[in-house]
Amino acid sequence: MEKILKDSVRAGVIGHPIAHSKSPIIHGYWLQKYGIAGEYLRYDIAPQDLKSGVARLVELGLRGFNVTLPHKESILELCASQSELAQKIGAANTITIDDSGRLHADSTDGFGFLQNMAAHVPNLVWHNKTIMILGAGGAARAIVGALMTCGAAQIILVNRTFDKAAALGAEFNRKFAQGSEMIPAEIIPVKIIPAPWTAILEFLPRCDVVINTTSLGMRGQAALEINLDPLPAHAMVSDIVYAPLETELLKQARRRHVTAVTGIGMLLHQARPGFARWFGIEPAVTPELEALVLS
Ligand code: ATR
């Protein structure tokens, strides 16, 4: 199989399907902007071919790759090492391949979420906040995982299927216990309180932040029906859905003069650590890049 020249760095994204992935647009923009001789391609790998497909990428000389559905969990079995966050979340989206062809897994979705919030909200402070998370799926795991170490007071984890919220809450409360490597002794870990969907109205008056991690409100999906009226005026609302960019949830927040944070930035910021590791430059998220990805 063809081995690439040493001076042209190669990376990519794996998934199934993969045609919809915006990652090549993001990394392609940065490669061009920083004048790097490299490429970033999509690789469609079916679940049953994951091991051989990844072996082929190693053979091709890739420095690493991003991982999207349905491989975010199963990729961990092929990795020689995992960041503590990836291990705790049980999923990875960013893989680095070392000179010996060994894979190292990391999860940067939560980083992307935090960076996007910080970019939109000047002087953002998580300390002592009460955060409502809607959803308990893969996206919620990454975001809650990142928030466990931010010093917030509590996370109200609301899910249609209450048992899933209860299970995730119990799992993370145990995994992120005080004194573990990710929680310095002086930080009190965030406490997760699972709640059923029907309890949203009851909890909203004491929430400082509301984050939608479900696909509700996405173009072509069911609407996210929630009444933000009880939310305090100082609150922030964030949506991981970015198609449409202004979701009904965010429109409702803006009508109430509550800070609203769009979801596209999470996608852009989660890509930064991978690009920096593979191509050696810390890339910037710019309005131009955002417009390009949304177009
Ligand atoms: P992802 O990896 O994108 O988070 P997922 O793991 O399938 O996707 O999780 C989807 C989330 O959206 C879940 O929390 C799901 O709730 P359930 O656990 O009850 O399935 C939530 N979700 C999907 N459709 C929903 C709907 N119509 N109403 C409320 N929640 C919904």
Q: Of ligand 1's atoms, which has the minimum distance to the CA of residue 139?
A: 4
What was the pLDDT predicted at 5? 45
Run of H or E residues at 94? strand 94-97
- CB within 6 Å of ligand 1 — which residues? 135-140, 159-161, 164, 213-216, 222
Instruction: Report cis status (omega within 30 of 0) of the bond before 194.
Output: no
Gap from CA of 24 to ligand 1 centroid (Å): 26
Span 100-115, pLDDT tens digits: 999 999 999 999 999 9
Q: Whose CA is nearest to atom 15 of ligand 1?
A: 135
Span 199-237, pLDDT tens digits: 999 999 999 999 999 999 999 999 999 999 999 999 999
What was the pLDDT predicted at 259? 96
What was the pLDDT predicted at 113? 98
> pLDDT band for position 7 (50/70/90)?
low
> pLDDT band for position 178 (50/70/90)?
confident
Look up tokens 């069911």; give the residue: 222
Among 3, 22, 33, 72, the active-site one is 72
Over residues 81-90, mean pLDDT? 96
What was the pLDDT predicted at 115? 97
Q: Whose CA is nearest to atom 7 of ligand 1?
A: 137
Residue 9 and residue 115: Cα distance in Å, rounded?
Answer: 26
Partners of 191 in the β-ladder? 154
Count of beta carbons in the 10 Å neighbourhood of residue 227: 10
pLDDT at 4 over 50: no
Mean pLDDT (the chain) is 95
Over residues 259-287, mean pLDDT? 98
What was the pLDDT predicted at 214? 97
Mark residue 35 as left, alpha or beta (left: phi above 0; alpha: psi -120 to 50; beta: remaining). left
Gap from CA of 138 to ligand 1 centroid (Å): 9
H-only helix segments in 148-261: 162-175, 200-203, 248-255
Residue 221 and residue 213: Cα distance in Å, rounded?
Answer: 14
What was the pLDDT predicted at 2? 43
Look up 72 and say whether it is catalytic: yes
What was the pLDDT predicted at 3? 45
Gap from CA of 164 to ligand 1 centroid (Å): 10
Backbone angles phi, psi at 160, to 5 degrees: -55, -50
Q: Of ligand 1's atoms, which has the minimum distance to the CA of residue 160?
A: 19
Gap from CA of 67 to ligand 1 centroid (Å): 20
Span 34-80, pLDDT tens digits: 999 999 999 999 999 999 999 999 999 999 999 999 999 999 999 99
Q: Of ligand 1's atoms, which has the minimum distance to the CA of residue 213?
A: 4
